[in-house]
Structure 1
Amino acid sequence: MKTIKLIAACALFTGATASFSHESMPHAAKPAAIKEQKEWGIAGDAKAVTRTITLRMGDDMRFAPSHIQVREGETVRLRAQNKGKVMHEIVIGTKTELDQHAEMMVKHPGMEHDEPYMAHVKPGQRGDIVWHFNRAGTFDFACLIAGHYQAGMTGTITVLPRAH
């Protein structure tokens, strides 16, 4: 029994040391997104991307363009470029969900979250969302950083039905 405890303690110590010692090393790419069906689609596969749509974000609290159109069944790379001097993000969802999430962000401004339908973008940087729009309808996107949503940093996505 002592041998098992010793082996377990060594494994824990080795794992802890490795996790702390890698901080100065470059981090690997994000692990593959968990594919969970949402009203507005599902996380897409980068190999299936048919086009890239660039959305610029600025400190004027606007997206440009603020409306995009895709076709049902299309996998798109949404490339968010932060042209401002403060952090911005893009989150895809329904108006109701974005309203609720924005309210939570005001109460907990430091809240961390990382879903495949979100991209947090530092000033002067860019972030990508690869999304498979498998449901027709009109959906929303927004920056949910406290105050940004309230200032009107929102947009819409129209997903047109499949062409037959």
Structure 2
Amino acid sequence: MRQRYPMFSRMMSSFVVGMGMFLAIALINPSPAQAAVTQAGPQLARIDARDLHISLGDRQGQLMFYPNHLDLVVGQTYRLILDNPSPEKHYFSAPNFAAVSWTRKVEAAGVEVKGTVRELELKPNAKAEWVLVPEKPGQYDLECTIAGHAEAGMTGRLTIHPRSIDSV
């Protein structure tokens, strides 16, 4: 069978081979911008979280958060380390705070949960970690939503401050 356009076929073959070589070189030697993105990924994954410890109640059954006020800064990564030393279950409920915070993960009892979180239930002697980044300044209410607990004093406040030059 005779080729109708032999010159065109040779040009296309050369083009395909040339593009393949270009792509191979680009993958082996990324541009400075690509290299920066490639190197930033591992650095972002290692951003240190600031640990904040919060107890839901105490061993005597007091209905309080310890501490009951937290100050956070927009853009800072936090690890809320929650524990419930009391003899009954409690909720760490702050839905408005959760709505303006990016949750990286919640970890408890060997299980890691990712995605939107609104409240955490901690059974007696349970522990959990909530890793998050606050995104919007404001004051947000915290409470235990078990009937009678908030009324007895199991409430708190989470304040997210704008990022300042001093906090960078």
Q: Aligned pair 1:131/2:128, yes or no?
A: no
Q: Write 1 or 2 for the structure with the bigger share of helix.
A: 2
Q: TM-score, normalised by structure 2?
A: 0.54
Deviations 1:109-130 (A, max 9, x none): xxxxx95132211111112222
Give the gaps of 5 or more residues in structure 2: 1-43, 98-114
Separation of aligned partners in 2, 1:66 and 1:90: 11
CA shift, 1:74, in A, is: 1.5
Matches within 5 A, 1:64-83: 64-83=66-85
Larger radius of gyration: 2
Separation of aligned partners in 1, 2:156 and 2:82: 13
CA shift, 1:68, in A, is: 0.7
State the partner residue of 2:5: none
Q: TM-score, normalised by structure 1?
A: 0.55
Separation of aligned partners in 2, 1:122 and 1:149: 17
Letter in 1 for 2:95: G
Separation of aligned partners in 2, 1:88 and 1:117: 14
Letter in 1 for 2:133: H
State the partner residue of 2:103: none
Matches within 5 A, 1:30-109: 48=47, 50-58=49-57, 59-94=61-96
What secondary structure, in the 3-state scheme, does the structure 1 residue paired with 2:136 have?
A: coil
Does the Cα contact within 8 Å between 1:116 and 1:129 map onto a contact in 2?
A: no
Separation of aligned partners in 2, 1:46 and 1:145: 36
What secondary structure, in the 3-state scheme, does the structure 1 residue paired with 2:152 have?
A: coil
Q: Aligned pair 1:149/2:125, yes or no?
A: no
Question: Identity rate of aligned residues, in percent?
Answer: 29
Give the gaps of 5 or more residues in structure 1: 1-44, 96-113
